[in-house]
């Protein structure tokens, strides 16, 4: 079974798409998964102007490339995060006037996610990948003590914010794929189940499966696919390696990625500990 291999452009958003596309085609990719920041894809223009979408399609086509998904991770993060520090100032395409204003960031993030559904429709893709953020990630270690009510309230808040977004996706026939990831409402298998339950198993909510964020937590990535076979809407091929030697900690010790004393780190595919053969077999079983 053959699948198109694409490159997510988010880490190269500083490159104009017209310069990046031929470079990635020369490497051998079938297409690009366009990030919704930089000049790669603007969801507000895409939602309002079909000609904008046609121009992006033509640029890809001129370079022998296709697109099957767009990704609006940064805007999605703003929808549920506290947004109460400077880290998200200027996030993605966030207007400068929203900097340092948590609720302005949130309102813009929600509007951007809804626009992404319409832009995806106009652009001819079926999936928008992204993040949700989380109002309760900072409660991960339960000290000071975190009550069950506080966690329940966090999942209710997720439902309150995201059901209207997902209803817009449903109206337009587009799926949203959450990248299960630290700092999101769903960061492991059980929180993924709980997130689905919180929104009544909304048909447009699924997952951008990325094994690199699961393995270091001790979760079998293939088991995640077995648990959610009909909710895997998109896949990222990323690798990681756990390096616990009695000194390195699994939480990363506030060390930057690449630092030698981290307890885990990302790796190029095939150079870490992810069993990609097992994952591909499970994806095929799930008819991905």
* Ranges of the chain with pLDDT below 50: none
Q: Is residue 91 part of a domain?
A: yes
Q: Is residue 222 part of a domain?
A: no
Q: Is residue 267 part of a domain?
A: no
Model pLDDT, residue 92: 84
Domain CATH code at residue 122 = 3.20.20.150
Instruction: Give the C-alpha separation, 63 to 66, whole Å.
Output: 9
56 in Cβ contact with 34 (< 8 Å): yes
Model pLDDT, residue 259: 96
Q: Is residue 54 part of a domain?
A: yes
Q: Is residue 276 part of a domain?
A: no
Model pLDDT, residue 160: 98
Domain range for 121 is 6-209
Q: Is residue 25 part of a domain?
A: yes
Model pLDDT, residue 153: 98
Model pLDDT, residue 170: 98
How many structural domains is the chain composed of? 1
Q: Is residue 147 part of a domain?
A: yes
Q: Is residue 21 part of a domain?
A: yes
* Rg of the chain on CA atoms, in Å: 19
Model pLDDT, residue 1: 53
Taking alpha carbons only, the member of 233, 236, 227, 237 closest to residue 282 is 227
């Amino acid at each position: 079974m053959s699948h198109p291999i694409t490159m997510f452009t988010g880490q190269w958003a500083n490159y104009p798409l017209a310069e990046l596309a031929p470079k990635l085609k020369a490497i051998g990719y079938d297409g690009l998964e366009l990030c919704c920041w930089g000049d790669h894809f603007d969801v507000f223009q895409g939602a309002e102007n079909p000609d904008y979408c046609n121009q992006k399609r033509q640029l890809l086509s001129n370079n022998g490339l296709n697109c099957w998904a767009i990704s609006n991770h940064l805007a999605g993060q703003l929808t549920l995060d506290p947004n109460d520090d400077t880290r998200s100032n200027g996030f993605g395409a966030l207007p400068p006037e929203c900097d340092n204003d948590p609720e302005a960031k949130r309102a813009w993030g929600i509007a951007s996610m809804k626009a992404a559904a319409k832009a995806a429709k106009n652009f001819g893709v079926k999936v928008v990948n992204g993040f949700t953020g989380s109002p309760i990630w900072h409660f991960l270690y339960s000290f000071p003590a975190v009550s069950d009510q506080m966690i329940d309230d966090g999942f209710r808040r997720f439902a309150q914010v995201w059901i209207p977004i997902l209803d817009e996706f449903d109206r337009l026939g587009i799926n949203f794929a959450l990248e299960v990831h630290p700092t999101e409402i769903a960061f492991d298998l059980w929180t993924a189940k709980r997130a689905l339950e919180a929104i009544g198993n909304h048909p447009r909510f699924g997952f951008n499966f990325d094994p690199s964020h699961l393995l270091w937590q001790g979760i079998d990535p293939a088991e995640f696919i077995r648990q959610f076979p009909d909710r895997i809407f998109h896949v990222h091929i990323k690798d990681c390696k756990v390096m616990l030697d009695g000194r390195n900690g699994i939480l990363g010790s506030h060390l930057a990625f690449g630092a030698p004393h981290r307890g885990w780190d990302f790796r190029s595919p095939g150079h870490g500990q992810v069993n990609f053969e097992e994952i591909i077999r499970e994806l095929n079983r799930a008819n991905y």
